[in-house]
Amino acid sequence: MRNILIVDDEPYVCQALRRVLETSGNSVLTAASAEEGLQRLREHTADLAIVDIVMPGLDGVGLIAQIRSEFPNVRVIAMSGGGNFGLSEYLPETIITHAYLEAARKAGAQGTLFKPFETQQLRDLIEQVAGPMPAEAL
Amino acid sequence: MDIQTEAGTVATEITTEVWPGWTPRRAARIRLMLIDDHLLIREGIEALLSLERDLEVVGTASSIPDGIELARALGPDLVISDLTFPGCNGSTAVRTLCQACPETRVLVLSVHDSLECIRAAFAAGAVGYLRKDASREEMLYAVRRAVAGGRSTCLAVGDIVVQDWLERGGLREPAANACLSAEDRRALRLIALGVPTWRIAEEFGRGVKTVEKYRASLMRRLSLKNTAAVTRFAVDMHLLSHSEVDRLLAADAVSGSTAREA
């Protein structure tokens, strides 16, 4: 079993990811902001954090830098669909989305995902970033 | 091409023709500066551009005054700037930047895509305009094109400009154009370009006298008193391409417009 923290200010994203990851045998925590995510990491053990970039308050890039410094063993996946410009739909192919994810990578994220993504893409990336699921959960 | 090594200068046949996209390690990189009030955008664009071997972000600023100071100090090849800042609306930022740093090229990267913003940015001196939802490839193209001396927009902004041009501006056909035959337009083009009558006669496969009469009749019909007036008319009627107009203007600059008036 992996312990995974999901940080996204959109509740339905947290819920959907939680459902997918728990079905795969992971233990999932969620947080609606970077600050809440850091608090969760201080209170609980996590192997992996899946972090949105555009969030009110501390953004995802700032959160990733903080995780790298405070919890160096926690692996990080950044996800973004652009946004922040009053646009409701995801803009995966835009300069800004590429820029956000590149900034996340520079801050220390080991993997990046453009929203929206397929469940299998997420599973593959988690395996790539965090390694195969520990044997006891299989 | 020669490459400097510790052993001396070594001639090599390696070129970009052999290796597309290959940039010599010591080739001068394009020096860029970013101005945007959002830290995340600055960090992201810097990270993105830094992946390109020929590009280098030499500085970032969060406001126009700071950007101007930095641009004066660093002398970048190109500044990529947002259009609106707190307390600084629309094209004011670009105009201030262009006036303060006349040697610096400015590429706008904005979420705004109104025609007023686009027009004002170019009028203020910007060489390119990208919407923030443009693709990464569009941005890289615009950056390289701007540094090479060209103007560009992302596809979405290009669509907006062309749509407006079709609806309101460039295609509007002056009434006089409707009464011109294809032959009239062709003749007017040649007259406007300063082609002598004997050459026009050759082009039309007619005698010089016939063409002289046709030319006089055409000019009388359109109330055009001399070649300069024909040129102005041809420009207004979109009978000349931009490059032809540029060539005429250049010729005027050299010889003086009075020569063609004659």
Tell me the residue length of chain A. 138
In whole angstroms, give the CA distance from residue A91 to residue A97: 7
Yes or no, beta carbons of A99 and B45 under 8 Å apart: yes
Q: Where are the domains of chain A?
A: 3-132
Residue range B68-96: mean pLDDT, rounded: 88
In whole angstroms, give the CA distance from residue A49 to residue B37: 28
Longest dimension (CA), chain B: 77
Q: Where are the domains of chain B?
A: 2-167, 175-261
Yes or no, beta carbons of B139 and A102 under 8 Å apart: no
Residues of B in contact with A103 (CB under 8 A): 40, 43-44, 46-48
Residue range B179-184: mean pLDDT, rounded: 80
Question: Tens digit of pLDDT for each residue in B103-124?
Answer: 889 999 998 888 888 988 998 8
Yes or no, beta carbons of B44 and A61 under 8 Å apart: yes
CATH of segment(s) B2-167: 3.40.50.2300
Q: Are strands A75-80 and B8-11 parallel, antiparallel or unpaired?
A: unpaired
In whole angstroms, give the CA distance from residue B77 to residue B79: 7
pLDDT band, very low/low/confident/very high, at B237 (cuts 50, 70, 90): confident
First to last CA, chain B: 52
The pLDDT, as a whole number, for residue B16 is: 53
Are B193 and B240 in contact by the 8 Å Cβ rule? The answer is yes
Yes or no, beta carbons of B139 and A100 under 8 Å apart: no
CATH of segment(s) B175-261: 1.10.10
The pLDDT, as a whole number, for residue A66 is: 97
pTM: 0.67
Candidates A59, A91, A103; nearest CB to B47: A103
**Tens-level pLDDT at each residue, chain A (138 residues):** 899 999 999 999 999 999 999 998 999 999 999 999 999 999 999 999 999 999 989 999 999 999 999 999 999 999 998 765 555 567 767 888 999 999 999 999 999 999 889 999 999 999 999 988 776 644
The pLDDT, as a whole number, for residue A111 is: 96
The pLDDT, as a whole number, for residue B24 is: 60
pLDDT at B38 over 60: yes
H or E segment and range at residue B74: helix B64-74
pLDDT band, very low/low/confident/very high, at B255 (cuts 50, 70, 90): low
Topology at the third CATH level for domain A3-132: Rossmann fold (3.40.50)
Token pair for B38 = 């959002």
B175, with CB counted inside 10 A (0-12, 13-18, 19+), is exposed
